[in-house]
Amino acid sequence: MSSLLAFEDALQEIKRSATVRVAQQTIALPHALGSILSEDIIAHIAVPPHDNSAMDGYALAYADWQEGKHFTISQRIAAGHHPQPLIPGTCARIFTGANIPPGADTVIMQENGHLIDGKLVLDAPPIQGDNIRPAGQDMHVGQTVIAAGEKITPIHIGLLSSLGITHIKVFEPLRVGILTTGNELIPAGEDLAAGQIYNSNGPMLSALVAQAGYQVSHCLHVADTPESTEAALKTLLSSCDVILSSGGVSVGEEDHVKGVLEKLGSVHMWKIAIKPGKPLVHATLDGVPFLGLPGNPSSTLVTYHWFARLLLSVCAGQNAKHPQPYPVSAGFKRLKAIQRDEFLRVSIGKDGLAYAHAQQSSGALLAACESQGYLHIKANTQIEYGHAYDFYPFSGF
Ligand SMILES: Nc1nc2c(c(=O)[nH]1)N[C@H]1C(S)=C(S)[C@@H](COP(=O)(O)OP(=O)(O)OC[C@H]3O[C@@H](n4cnc5c(N)ncnc54)[C@H](O)[C@@H]3O)O[C@H]1N2
Ligand code: MOO
């Protein structure tokens, strides 16, 4: 057991060795949704560019007001108009979004005044500076508003548009190759013969990669032979920025992935102190990063979530964000402590406590479907009822 790499060390190793694998391109904003920004966006204009009114009402100079004063309305300023300087002692009729005229420093909401013989009389003393949105309130010139590595969201599209930006520099989509291994596996749609099961990791990994916004360039399947594994890897190497595989990474004679990796490239780490997912292997082939995930479907899911997701995000040029944990107390106890960090599939009960799914076998996937996230139990830790552990909702991955 001592030969296993600690969970945190394995994460650090992946982070340390991973590099951006994709080129930059310029893209028109309407096509940028979901792309990864490749350079910081710095505001070149202030937003809003001028002081403007937050309300429909009247602009005046605070110092001009005194009890009972009747303000002559000296100009009318609608949004989009260029105002004249305010004639001292008067006010300007103004509308929401219109520029404040030089000389005014306060806007009175129209509901807070009334007109007598066409002149404005305030119902209450004004508050200096009220209802003015100053230039640069949203963004000021020189401010970094979106950092490189962010994935462009609809909010970013709005923000960039408010700066008048039409094109941005982003990374080209990461091309991910997926390889599944196993003589027993057939694709859905065919009839099962004795000893066969359906390949679930191929479709699940493709969906996880697509959900993250990357491109699945190939999803290949091979029998458990070194020759077919090597041939498939060579195909993937020629067309992918990064490769993920499932199965064939344990110690049996039918497990060929690690042997082929050692022949074609260099293996950086193998076997991590986690449950499930122990035989994870990390390698580089011809400069292409490779992560071999264990074949048991829940091991595949857990190692994708914790390790492949991190590797792919760095390779794609994305800011690698650790999922956000929440402290949640266990609604159960377990005296046995294991020597691996464990990711229990759990649900949160109405009492706010975490309950482990009864089926924690790494071969079982329904348990993950029926759970809400992972409870992270660190290595050599007993589980105490009522004690808080890190809960990671699946939605955070
Ligand atoms: N003697 C030992 N045996 C095993 C060890 C060990 O330390 N010593 N580790 C176990 C652990 S932990 C895991 S996890 C598995 C991982 O093995 P592999 O990655 O080599 O995976 P396979 O043997 O190819 O398959 C394991 C299991 O998963 C099923 N599988 C594989 N691929 C798929 C797929 N695409 N879709 C659905 N199901 C798949 C496969 O049929 C097996 O049942 O090794 C343990 N053994
Ligand atoms: O990862 Mo294995 O699936 O620990 O059982």
Q: How far is CA 316 from CA 242, 305, 307, in A?
A: 10, 16, 14
Q: Is the pLDDT of residue 2 over 80?
A: no
**Average pLDDT of 337-349?**
97
Mark out the alpha helices in the chain (DSSP H runs). Answer: 7-17, 154-162, 201-211, 226-237, 257-264, 297-303, 309-315, 366-369
How many angstroms separate the CA atoms of 167 and 150, rounded? 16
What residue ranges define each of the domains in the chain, with the CATH number in brackets? 7-22+173-315 (3.40.980.10), 24-46+137-171 (3.90.105.10), 52-133 (2.170.190.11), 326-396 (2.40.340.10)
Confidence category of residue 183, pLDDT binned at 50, 70, 90: very high
pLDDT at 320: 81
- The end-to-end CA distance of the chain, in Å, is 29
Confidence category of residue 1, pLDDT binned at 50, 70, 90: very low
Residue with tokens 């300087």: 85
Q: Is the pLDDT of residue 304 over 50?
A: yes
Rounded to 10 deg, the angle between the 226-237 and 257-264 helix axes is 50
pLDDT at 255: 87
How many angstroms separate the CA atoms of 339 and 346, rounded? 20
Distance 166 CA to ligand 1 centre (A): 49
Closest CA to 392 of 283, 278, 305, 289: 305
Residue with tokens 């949105």: 133
Confidence category of residue 367, pLDDT binned at 50, 70, 90: very high
**Average pLDDT of 93-105?**
98
Question: Looking at ligand 1, which residue's alpha carbon is closest to its atom 10?
Answer: 250
**Average pLDDT of 147-172?**
98
How many angstroms separate the CA atoms of 167 and 37, rounded? 11
Distance 272 CA to ligand 1 centre (A): 15
Extended strands (E) in 134-287: 144-146, 167-171, 175-181, 185-186, 197-198, 215-222, 242-246, 266-270, 274-275, 281-285
Residue 198: phi, psi to the nearest 5?
A: -80, 145
**Average pLDDT of 327-349?**
97
The ipTM of this complex is 0.97
Q: CB–CB of 173/215 below 8 Å?
A: yes
**Does ligand 2 have an atom closer than 6 angstroms to the CB of 300?**
no
Distance 178 CA to ligand 1 centre (A): 17
Is pTM beyond 0.90 here?
Answer: yes
Look over the chain and give the mean of its residue pLDDT values, rounded to a whole number: 97
**Does ligand 1 have an atom closer than 6 angstroms to the CB of 251?**
yes
Q: Is the pLDDT of residue 161 over 90?
A: yes
Write b or e for each residue in 168-180: b if 16 or more Cβ atoms lie within 10 A of its Cβ, otherwise e.
Answer: bbbbbbbbbbbbb
Please report, as a single letter, which amino acid is at residue 242: V
In terms of C-beta distances under 8 Å and separation of at least 24 residues, what long-range contacts does 216-222 make, across chains too?
Answer: 216/176, 216/178, 217/175, 217/176, 217/177, 218/177, 218/178, 219/178, 219/179, 219/180, 220/177, 220/178, 220/179, 220/180, 221/179, 221/180, 221/181, 221/182, 221/185, 221/187, 222/179, 222/180, 222/181
Distance 64 CA to ligand 2 centre (A): 78
Report the largest interatomic distance among the alpha carbons of the chain, rounded to a whole angstrom.
98
Distance 45 CA to ligand 1 centre (A): 57
pLDDT at 190: 97
Q: Which atom of ligand 2 is nearest to the CA of 294?
A: 1
240-291 pLDDT, tens digit per residue, is: 999 999 999 988 888 899 999 999 999 999 999 999 999 999 999 999 999 9
Task: Find residue 285's DSSP bridge partners.
Answer: 288
**Does ligand 1 have an atom closer than 6 angstroms to the CB of 196?**
no
pLDDT at 108: 98
Strands 242-246 and 288-293: parallel
Extended strands (E) in 97-156: 106-109, 113-116, 119-122, 132-133, 144-146
63-93 pLDDT, tens digit per residue, is: 999 999 999 999 999 999 999 999 999 999 9
Question: Looking at ligand 1, which residue's alpha carbon is closest to its atom 33?
Answer: 295
193-215 pLDDT, tens digit per residue, is: 999 999 999 999 999 999 999 99
How many angstroms separate the CA atoms of 104 and 58, rounded? 10
Q: CB–CB of 291/311 below 8 Å?
A: yes
